[in-house]
Structure 1
Amino acid sequence: LDGNYTWSHCIGLPITTLTNLGAANPHGPYQNNGPNDRTLDMGDCTSNAAISALDLRHIANITFVATTPKYSGGSWLNRLASTWTFSTIFQTRSGAPFTPGIGGDQAYSGVAIPGGGALPIPQRPNQVADVVSPTRRQGCSPAPCVSWFNASAVTFPAVGTYGNMGVGSLRGPGFWDWSQTVSRKFQVTEGQQIEFRAEAFNVTNSLRLGNPNVSLSGGQFGKITSSNGGPRIMQFALKYVF
């Protein structure tokens, strides 16, 4: 039995800030790297330092390996139950931060419109109420979707202004997975073996939710319509060693 736990806290600049900095302005205002390399706002890019999208606050892993005893002689059932190896991997982590965007150029800066530059910088909305949703993790419409945060608490900023919502101010669902392996080597002769393995990933076939839709302009804003990780997968293998 083995395990580990990691607590971490990652603070940094939005990825688009790092990738869109002008070569001549490594610490200057936002840059678009578009045809005119226009400035998004007049603030230093470091003013947007916040919780990073890589901030997975809690991560835990547990591994377990056990082998049944070797039975010599006795009934065929005892011999069949001998030397099976069970290997378990369980992992879990907290949700990743995300940042809602308005999906357009509400500030009339000319650089946040998709296609306006190499990597357009999303503008953020205003938060006007508590974003915690009373229907969190419940189904919603149009199906299939799952409610995650209170979309009514987020609005477009006034034309010509930027929103007050912070970078990485919301978090998506956590993730967990249980994988299992069962194996045994059958001795055929002194120099020959047959190894059997059965493996299963996402043993419980559980749905792990992805992050919600973050574009305020979209009809599914605040709702989760994707999954994180696949369905249960099982595979079997038989190997002859000689």
Structure 2
Amino acid sequence: MSARLFPNWGRINTRATGANESYHSLQAEFEHRFQSGFQLDSAWTYAKALADNQGPSNTSFAGESGGGRATSILDRHADFGNVYGTRRHRWNTTMVYDLPFGRGRQFGTGISRLADSVVGGWRLATIFLWQSGPFESPYFPSGQGDPSGTGSGLNSSASGFDGGHRNQHPDRVAGVSARPQHQTKMDWVNAAAFTCPGYPAWQPGTACTTGSGSGPVPNPIGRFGNAQVGSVVGPGTVNLSAGLSKTFSITERLKLRAEGTFTNVLNHTNLSDPNMNISSPSFGLISSAISSDFGGARSGQVSMRLDF
């Protein structure tokens, strides 16, 4: 007996705006107002966001396609878990500092106006970001199997239904940590912590075909996999961006501003999301670096602007 609401129909795509989410956070901030040419603001946030609209293989904020699609209209809670984009820890610090060189400053207070026009009046501004990683969700792709028997995991190639993309949740192996003992970009997730639902003979890195209706595989087990959305923490981000600027007074009303700004000054490598497909031989592998949150490779620009 099928668990599908309308077993004689193909897939019925719907759009629903309902969702449940809770967000809680603890925030602390330290601020030093502009004094002696120095200003600092440092803020730390400890946050937890849980929602049921993340989808079974979210790699960004929830959307209407890909991993953001709901697993089932019958059980919204199947996609309940940590929100991908809400980091558990986020520390952001900004600083503005008028360098102490030049006339009237700590160093070089008696230098000539010509020398001051070169070494005096420079301002340094920085933004430092440190945050823990996004919450990742292990999955196996649509079209392999359908453990729930609802048709959620099947597509045109497997069942004759119209095409679609409903990745599925695996099972979490009890008592096994999802974090390897020695976590690296080559082995970010412990493959032994996740398994194909209802398929004791399944091997990591192979297709999860429970309930697919073809071959010597188990029949549907009447439920989705129990691995929770956002059960793996991805790589964090460390980034320091900085800018150096100076304004040259040509006349009383004519000024020239010179500025250089650089992102990821330290050129720190920030890793991207790991492969979360349990049926892939490269499950848990990180193969690239990120380009978001200004955490990509170091870049910079130099500019001059005439104000009048």
* TM-score, normalising length: structure 1: 0.78
**Structure 2 residue 194 is the aligned partner of structure 1 residue 154:** yes
**Structure 2 residue 72 is the aligned partner of structure 1 residue 30:** yes
**Structure 2 residue 87 is the aligned partner of structure 1 residue 56:** yes
**Structure 2 residue 190 is the aligned partner of structure 1 residue 137:** no
Match of 2:304 among 230, 238, 242: 238
Instruction: Give the C-alpha shift of residue 90 in structure 1.
Output: 0.8
| Cα distance change of structure 1 residues 6 and 147 upon mapping to structure 2, 3 Å threshold | same
| Cα distance change of structure 1 residues 54 and 118 upon mapping to structure 2, 3 Å threshold | farther
| CA distance in 2: counterparts of 1:150 and 1:199, whole angstroms | 40
Trace 1:12-31 onto structure 2 (pairs within 5 A). 12-16=51-55, 30-31=72-73
**Structure 2 residue 170 is the aligned partner of structure 1 residue 125:** yes
Instruction: Give the C-alpha shift of residue 130 in structure 1.
Output: 2.4
Q: What letter corresponds to residue 152 of structure 2 in structure 1?
A: V
Name the structure with the higher strand share.
1
Instruction: Give the C-alpha shift of residue 102 in structure 1.
Output: 1.5
Stretches (4+) displaced over 4 A: 17-20, 75-79, 114-119
| CA distance in 2: counterparts of 1:194 and 1:118, whole angstroms | 60
Trace 1:62-211 onto structure 2 (pairs within 5 A). 62-69=93-100, 70-71=102-103, 73-74=110-111, 77=115, 79-103=117-141, 104-107=144-147, 108-113=149-154, 120-128=165-173, 129-138=176-185, 146-157=186-197, 158=199, 159=210, 160-161=220-221, 162-211=224-273
**Secondary structure at 1:224 match in 2:** coil
| Cα distance change of structure 1 residues 19 and 180 upon mapping to structure 2, 3 Å threshold | closer
Contact 1:203 1:232 in 2 (8 A): yes
What residue ranges of structure 2 are gaps of 5+ in the alignment? 1-39, 57-61, 65-70, 104-108, 200-209, 211-219
Instruction: Give the C-alpha shift of residue 165 in structure 1.
Output: 1.5
Instruction: Give the C-alpha shift of residue 122 in structure 1.
Output: 2.1
| Cα distance change of structure 1 residues 199 and 226 upon mapping to structure 2, 3 Å threshold | same
Q: Which position in structure 2 is the counterpart of 1:141?
A: none
| Cα distance change of structure 1 residues 219 and 136 upon mapping to structure 2, 3 Å threshold | same
Deviation string 1:114-168 (CA, Å, 9 cap, x unpaired) is 5666863321112323222133125xxxxxxx32111133222222233332221
**Structure 2 residue 262 is the aligned partner of structure 1 residue 215:** no
Instruction: Give the C-alpha shift of residue 79 in structure 1.
Output: 4.8
Percent identity over paired residues: 26
Q: Which position in structure 2 is the counterpart of 1:25?
A: none
Match of 1:6 among 37, 45, 61: 45
Contact 1:199 1:234 in 2 (8 A): yes
| CA distance in 1: counterparts of 2:94 and 2:266, whole angstroms | 17
| Cα distance change of structure 1 residues 7 and 135 upon mapping to structure 2, 3 Å threshold | closer
What residue ranges of structure 1 are gaps of 5+ in the alignment? 21-28, 32-41, 139-145
Aligned length: 216
Contact 1:16 1:119 in 2 (8 A): no
| CA distance in 1: counterparts of 2:150 and 2:285, whole angstroms | 28
| Cα distance change of structure 1 residues 60 and 88 upon mapping to structure 2, 3 Å threshold | same
